[in-house]
Amino acid sequence: MRPFRLGLTGSIGMGKSTTAQIFAEEGVPVWDADAAVHRLYAPGGAAAPALGEALPGALDAEGGVDRAALKAMIAANPTVLDRLNAIVHPLVAADRAEFLAAATADIVLLDIPLLYESGLEKDCDAVVVVTAPPEVQRARVLSRETMTPAMFETILARQLPDAEKRARSDYVISTLTLEAARASVKDVLADIRRRIARNT
């Protein structure tokens, strides 16, 4: 029987990585889209040679993708992003498919930052959205060393509003405190296991 696919998403600074870690601690295998991209970009990763060929100057001395160079290329020429996505998205999808094919657990978690924006909710049996008040979100994001208010606003503009994500989701987890998030994760898993039991 194929595992129940639970999608996890949420806007920047909402506590998604922490929540994914809680699911992992509860024994749920996690596929992390960002981690998959890091693997693909690393020296020897599947995306590195393809990007090096398509975008000269995109690789560092070790043969991995130079993210700073890539960011500069995208800023100078927005069409670079389309070429990048055309190469990377199929490789990320293949990585996800490999994870799902190998999964033996009853529930797996697909941690995808742009889940709704990329239409991947259709591949999930349910979606959980993490949320926090806007002032908490802003404080969390701006406490990151490399983040500026302008960068934060740019990232937010590319993401569906939090209210819309919550409205479209099956479950909402507030990450205001770690204890509340942990309790919510347990509740979500209990509910999904009840759903699985009803359908078997």
29: its two tokens: 């295998």
Query: What is the model's pLDDT at position 154?
Result: 85
Q: Do residue 97 and residue 128 come from a single domain?
A: no
Q: Do residue 158 and residue 89 come from a single domain?
A: no
Q: Which of 50, 84, 102 is the last residue of a domain?
A: 102
Q: Judging by DSSP bridges, how do beta strands 171-174 and 126-131 pair with one another?
A: parallel
Q: Do residue 5 and residue 69 come from a single domain?
A: no
Query: What is the model's pLDDT at position 155?
Result: 87
Q: Do residue 60 and residue 83 come from a single domain?
A: yes
- What is the model's pTM? 0.91
Q: Do residue 23 and residue 79 come from a single domain?
A: no
Neighbours of 162 (CB within 10 A): 20
Per-residue 3-state assignment (H helix, E strand, C coil) for 43-100: CCCCHHHHHHHHCCCCECCCCCECHHHHHHHHHHCCHHHHHHHHHHHHHHHHHHHHHH
Q: Do residue 116 and residue 17 come from a single domain?
A: yes
Domain that holds residue 95: 35-102
Query: What is the model's pLDDT at position 124?
Result: 97
21 near 109, Cβ under 8 Å? Answer: no
Q: Which phi and psi (to 5°) does residue 112 adopt?
A: -130, 105
66: its two tokens: 């130079």
H-type alpha helices, the chain: 16-25, 33-41, 47-54, 67-76, 79-102, 134-142, 149-158, 162-168, 178-198
Q: Do residue 87 and residue 56 come from a single domain?
A: yes
Query: What is the model's pLDDT at position 157?
Result: 87
pLDDT one digit per residue (tens) for the chain, 200 residues: 789 999 999 999 999 999 999 999 999 999 999 999 999 999 999 999 999 999 999 999 999 999 889 888 888 888 888 889 899 999 999 999 999 999 999 999 999 999 999 999 999 999 999 999 999 999 999 999 888 898 898 888 889 999 999 999 999 999 999 999 999 999 999 999 999 999 87
Closest to 76 in 3D by CA, of 57, 49, 48? 57
